[in-house]
Amino acid sequence: MSRKEGKSLWEAVEAFIKNQVANAIAKGLKKYVSTLIKTFLKAMIGGLLAGIGVLFIWIGIVDYLSIYFPKWSSYVLTGVISLLIGFIVIMLAIPRK
């Protein structure tokens, strides 16, 4: 009896298992990357909208303060306030040892 050219049963099973594992890993990785990209885009859009909202709030504060102070003083005052708020947020974000 002569041996047939091609794959044996063991090689066929081995190739099938490798294919299934590779497909499962690729599918899981694709799902993970897709979720990561969606989360990143949502965070970026949320940050952009929050930034625009803060900008309009500061413009409103400048306009309100310009009633009582000169325009340049209103800009300086709101700038210093935003600088202090940013500094406080950064100091809270830095881990302590």
Q: Tens-digit pLDDT profile for the chain (97 aa)? A: 445 556 688 888 888 999 999 999 999 999 999 999 999 999 999 989 998 988 999 899 999 989 998 988 988 988 898 889 889 988 888 888 7
Whether the predicted model's global pTM rises above the 0.95 cut: no
User: Contact, 81 vs 73, CB < 8 A?
Assistant: no
Provide the domain limits for residue 58: 9-93
- The values of phi and psi at residue 94, to 5°, are -75, 125
Residue 3 in domain: no
Residue 69 in domain: yes
- The values of phi and psi at residue 50, to 5°, are -65, -40
How many independent structural domains does the chain possess? 1
Residue 5's pLDDT is 58
Say whether 35 sits in a helix, a strand or coil: helix
Q: Which two tokens stand for residue 46?
A: 């949320």
